[in-house]
Every structure is written in C-alpha cells, then in structure tokens.
Amino acid sequence: MKLLSIGAAALTLSGFAVASETDYSSFDKDIEALVSGDVDHTGPHISGYMQARYDNSGDITVGGNDLGGFEVPRARVSFQGEHNQYGYKVQVDFSNSTDVLLDAYVDIPVSNVSARTGLFKGGISRNGLTSSSKLFFINRSQIGDLFDNRDYGVMFSGDFDQLSWYLTLQNGSDMQGDELRIAGRVEFDVMGKGVGGVEGAYGGPDELSGTVALSMYDDGNLTDGTGTLVEAHMVSSEFSFGAEVLDTDVNGVAAAPGTSMLVGDTTAFSVYGTYMLTPDQWELGVRYQDFDDPDNSNLVEVGVNHYLDGHNLKYGIGYSTMSSDNAAIEADIIQVQLQVGF
C-alpha cells in the first residue's frame, strides 16, 4: 500500500513537472514576442469622464415647478487601441439610455492620408468636434450643437505643414439610402502651431497661435441642404478668442441635425473670449451668439472655470441670458458643473 502511494505521488509530481515545463515554454515565447516587438496590438486603453450639473432658472418650468435640479449630462467610457497599425475607438455614454453607443470607428493607415470608417463626428465644426470634456463653456455654441452628432460613413484627412484638410462622406438624412451628406473642411495655422483641440486658454502655448478654417457641406437627399462655415480662433496660455459664422440654405440646418435652436436659411454667428485670471487655475470667459432668426434671438453667456487638475478635475459656473422678440424662449439660466476624468 505504501508502495502504491509513493508511485501515485511520483506520477502526480511527474505530471506537474511536464505541465510546468509547458507553461514556462509558453511564457518564454510571450516574453520573446514582447522583446522582439512582434506583438501586433496595443490596448485597449480605457478612459472616460463624468459631469454632475445643477441648473436653475425662474423662466423655465419642469413638472409645473421652476427649473432647479440636478442631472448627469454625461457619463462616458472610451476604449482605444491599435491592431497592426489600425487604430480603433469605441465610446459609450451611460447617462442617456437612447444613445448608449456614441463612437465606433477604425482608423485605417494609408500613405500620407488618414482614413476613418464607422460611427463618428464629421469634420465640419471645431466647436462641434471638440470633446465635451475639453470645452470651456458648459454648453456648446448653437453652431457647434448642429454638428455635435455622429453618423456612419468614412472620412479622409491629411496635413501639409500649416494646412490640414478633411473630406467626410456620411449617410445623411436618408440614413442608408444612396444619397450621402458630403462635407469638406480646410484649416490653416496662421500663427504658431494652431489652436489644437481645447476650448479656452488652459494648456495653451506661451506664444500666440491661431487657426482659420472653411467648411462646406451638402446633404444630397435635401434640396437646398447646404451650408458654409467660416471660423477664426486664437489662443495662448493667457487668453483665447475666436468667431464662427454659419450661412445655410433653407434646409441647411436640417442637413446637420444637431440639437441647435438655429433655423434654416440663416447667417448665424458667435464670438467669444476667455482670460486666465490665475495661470492654469481660474479662467473667465464670455460668449455672444446671434441666431439671425425671425425673432431676433441672441444669447449671452458668462463662465468661470476652476481647474484643480486641468480638465480631469474642474468646476464650472455659467450664467446665460436669452433675448428674443418671442417671450416664450427668453430665459436666464445659472449652471454649476463638476467634471471628473480618468
């Protein structure tokens, strides 16, 4: 009996030794692949942010009461990585049950040109393209709101020194019909390295930099579904300012179906400026928007940001007042927002 026990133990140890040798062999191969650079993917890298906001207005009612409550407008998680030089991104938002999936696209490596396909924002408006986590003002401009929407399609882009260009083809208003929404954008860095992808002066360059841009779009499914956007932006580490002017045909707004208050056949514009009261800590800004609508509506916004860890941890306070010949849309709103990123 003792002999049987010893034999069983020996067999067990022998099996363990064989298994261990196989495991270590596989482990060694993984190490060799890492050292030699044969691993063909990186990531996914996980990042995200959430915003908690309080809105107050005596001019807007909710459920029969004046507006005065809390919300979480965004709670987003992004997964980004690369496989054989093909980049990918998937972004979801858990604050809105109707649009959980925001982005889902692949960046295809092409010589001297970048190609993106999937679900993404078209290359039209800087304010619309800027991540909501990198905005100075709590809300986008009304022009930016028009282009804060995703669609399925393909986008090509490239740059030559100071010049960058984007060509976007997306489904448009007929969805998977054979008429596409086509948009083109050209940017030129008139000073320094341009303005980058952050609204406001936080993280800006020491020397003044500037970018001008021209965008045009057309939804082939809509008659007169065209628009032209002209922009100019300047930024330094101390201040930023800029302007955007949008001219659309009758159905030009419908061709860019965001949540904006703008209506078709308009020449709307906005101008803004921000100033760092304390370097990289306190920033003050103001923005004026004219909707060029039949009611002569305009919007004035004043905001203050307190950066505890840049845009990864910041407080924002905003006050906006809407003036219009239509008394139903006139309103004063105070907003307070906390943003945390990871």
- Dihedral sign for Cα atoms in the order 62, 67, 68, 70: positive
pLDDT of residue 3: 37
CA atoms of 307 and 54, how far apart (whole Å): 18
CA atoms of 120 and 113, how far apart (whole Å): 18
For the chain (342 residues), the mean pLDDT of every run of 10, in chain order, is 40 39 45 47 88 97 95 97 95 86 95 93 96 98 96 95 96 94 98 95 96 98 97 98 98 94 96 97 98 97 98 98 96 98 96
Q: Which residue has the tokens 């190609």?
A: 115
Contacts for 297-300 with beta carbons within 8 Å, 24 or more apart? 297/261, 297/322, 297/323, 297/324, 297/325, 297/326, 297/329, 298/322, 298/323, 298/324, 299/142, 299/323
Interior angle at CA 264, CA 261 and CA 267, nearest 5? 85
pLDDT of residue 42: 75
| Contact by Cβ (8 Å): 229, 125 | yes
pLDDT of residue 96: 76
pLDDT of residue 111: 82
pLDDT of residue 18: 38
Concatenating the DSSP letter of every residue in 168-227 gives EEE-GGGTTSS--EEEEEEEEEEETT--TT-SSSTT--SS-EEEEEEEEEEETTSTT-EE
Name 22's bridge partners. Answer: none
| Dihedral angle computed from the Cα positions of residues 191, 195, 201 and 202, in that order, rounded to the nearest 10 degrees | -130
Half-sphere exposure for 334 (CA within 13 Å, toward CB): 6
Residue 188: both structure tokens together: 């030129």
| Residues 6+ away with beta carbon under 8 Å from 324 | 295, 296, 297, 298, 330
CA-wise closest residue to 289 among 279, 297, 281: 297
pLDDT of residue 40: 57
Q: Helices H, strands E: what count in the chain? A: 3, 16
pLDDT of residue 9: 41
Residue 312: both structure tokens together: 């990864």
Look up the CATH superfamily of 49-341. Porin (2.40.160.10)
| Contact by Cβ (8 Å): 217, 256 | yes
